[in-house]
Amino acid sequence: MDYRKLGQEITELVGKKDNIARLTHCATRLRFELHDISKAETEKLKALPGVITVVNNGGQYQVVVGNEVQQVYRVITQQMGSATRSAESKSDSGKNNGPKQKQSWISRFISVISTTFTPVIPAIIGAGMIKAILAVLVLTGLVTTESQNYYILNTIADAAFYFMPILLAYGASIKFETSPILAMTVAGVLLHPGWSSLMAEGKDVFFIGVPVRLTDYAGSVLPIIIVVWLMSYIERFADRVSPSMIKFFTKPMIVLLITAPLALVAIGPFGTYLNDLVAMGAEAINARASWLIPLLMGTLQPFLIVTGTAWAMTPIATSQLTKNGYEMINGPGMLASNIAQGGATLAVALKTKNKKLKQLAASSGFTAVLGITEPSLYGVTLKLKKPLIAAMIGGGVAGIYAGLTGLVRYAFVSPGLAALPAFIGSNPMNIVHAIVTCLIAFVVTFALTWIIGFEDPVDDEEEGNTNVNDDKTLSGQPVQDNTPDTKSAATNVNVPTQNELRPLTIASPMQGELVHLDRVPDDVFSLGLLGKGAAIIPAKGELYAPIAGEVTAFMDSKHAVKLNGYDGEEVLIHIGVDTVNLKGRHFDSSIKVGDRVQQGDLLIRFDIDAIKAEGYEVITPIIIANSDRFPDIKLEKQSPVEVGATIIQLS
């Protein structure tokens, strides 16, 4: 995968770098906040090789790219450079350019939590894994809780949670476009050890006659987020009233003199009260119906991921981990859901006869049971639907068990088999309940998926159905060699089949050799991640319209075009592999998005020899982008084809 190319294409299609207000990432997706979301070209993004899907929810425009997200993120941030101002420079201007998108308060809340927590995730996951390793060391007797080794490792693991307000101050400053350093300084004020001494003395504390409620802010979440939000307005005020000649001195002084006392006197205590109130509510629910929250999380986690609302419970879980040393809000239900996703996907891998789906499901299913489910969710279960339903049922059943047995998570990690040590703690049965939860989730989901089945997009020949022409079909049924000439291809569109279904035909867009997709040296095409289809090794550098319809996407590099047919078919044609790097060299076309074309119209000319001379393959995938709409997709036999000859039949 060429990460630099993918990053460049994503940047262009979200409206170019000037349209990016901020960018963060999680385990599998890029999380954009855009000035003008209407500039983002979602369909083109979804069609990019390397992009699994696009989700616009929770106040963020999310591009799912899988486990390689960090590499793509680095490329995009390098491209953004000075075009996207830092939070510090934005706060200097006191305003942000570009129209603001209207969002519901729920979307705004989730956006705040997501943007604030995303930069913190590496720290708390790293600390959580150290906690998990430490639990294993204690369980095996290699380390005792009284040893200095334990004390040092435990201190390292606790640091991220103790100083959580400082870490969150950085993420919140990005969201609220204010100074990260000043925000972290205010967080440091709340955590200063001097307050511990005053609390130990038990004396009343006043600031200019106003009582100060001393509170332990270690590990707190909501107080610092509220404080940084207020500070963003105070900083803008300080920017306006500070004379330009001495602004360097007066602006930070005003910010600290106003924000820090307000945080200590009012905002911090209020945030702490709100934080405790939410946590008490969750604990009250858990005390009366311990099965309810894990049931809901185990069942609805895929829905929360798709809608971008999975962050909503993170503050409560983090607060519980810091305060109690364990949490029961996210971990148990997520463990059930993640393992269930893996069970459904691995069942698909074993049951499907489609070689490409089998390979995709096997790899993403293994990743899912380890704790990362987006490739499984978007690549397999969401598309096949029935396995997703089975995973939600299996996750819910396992969630009930987790809740009834009081399963808790002792460290902040992505729940899965790789993170089972995070369930080792003071209760020796907790890890047993975690393992049983995994077994229930996997077995129930696997069995349900196997029993209820799914619509298998088989593209291999059924055993015993091999015909003399060595035809291969995407539906598992053999087809006869009925490749017509250009004229018959056009007339065959309206010929009814024996079962009275009207067939649709895709004509060859170029002269060359018709081959199967697995010949394309790019997994996104060869594994069918973008849809079913065929490929042609061109003999002549001319691309013609394979259907009549409208041009709905056309890359500036002129190497790829998408057509929407009048009968609902969507055809994506990608000339060569990685040819976007040529930036339009050796390609010539005058078409544009919105043009209406007839089958056989010349779309693109390209120089085969020049493209090969620069080291690029010219094999051209022809993809049915909406393959799930057609229950039966048949590919004609591999052979030389002329322009206009039928290569794919849809019904």
Residues with catalytic roles = 26, 574
Token couple for 128:
């959580």
Contact 333, 300 (CB under 8 A): no
d(CA 331, CA 401): 13
Collapse the DSSP code of 551 into the 3-class scheme (helix H, G, I; strand E, B; otherwise coil) and give the result.
Answer: strand
Strand partners, 649: 505, 634
CB within 8 Å of 560: residues ≥ 6 apart: 47, 553, 554, 572, 573, 574, 575, 580
Q: How far is CA 392 from the centre of its chain?
A: 19
d(CA 142, CA 127): 20
Q: How many CB atoms lie within 10 A of CB 482?
A: 12
Q: How many CB atoms lie within 10 A of CB 428?
A: 9
CB within 8 Å of 406: residues ≥ 6 apart: 290, 328, 427, 430, 433
d(CA 168, CA 219): 10
Q: What is the DSSP letter of 378?
A: I
d(CA 651, CA 630): 6
Contact 49, 625 (CB under 8 A): no
d(CA 633, CA 651): 7
Token couple for 448:
């349900």
Q: How far is CA 572 from the centre of its chain?
A: 23
Q: How many CB atoms lie within 10 A of CB 257?
A: 12
Token couple for 450:
């196997």
Token couple for 271:
């945030």
Unique residue bearing structure tokens 């996750």: 395
Strands (E), 48-124: 53-57, 60-64
Q: At what angle do helices 180-191 and 222-241 cross, to 10 degrees?
A: 130
Unique residue bearing structure tokens 């820090």: 260
Q: How far apart are the first and last CA of the chain?
A: 34
Contact 574, 560 (CB under 8 A): yes
What string of DSSP letters covers 12-40? Answer: HHTT-GGGEEEEEE-SSEEEEEES-GGG-
d(CA 304, CA 222): 21
Collapse the DSSP code of 51 into the 3-class scheme (helix H, G, I; strand E, B; otherwise coil) and give the result.
Answer: coil
Token couple for 366:
């293994």
Contact 413, 371 (CB under 8 A): yes
Indicate if the alpha-carbon torsion angle 352, 354, 357, 359 is positive or negative. positive
d(CA 104, CA 94): 24
Distances (CA, A) of 465 to 70, 361, 470, 473: 45, 25, 10, 11
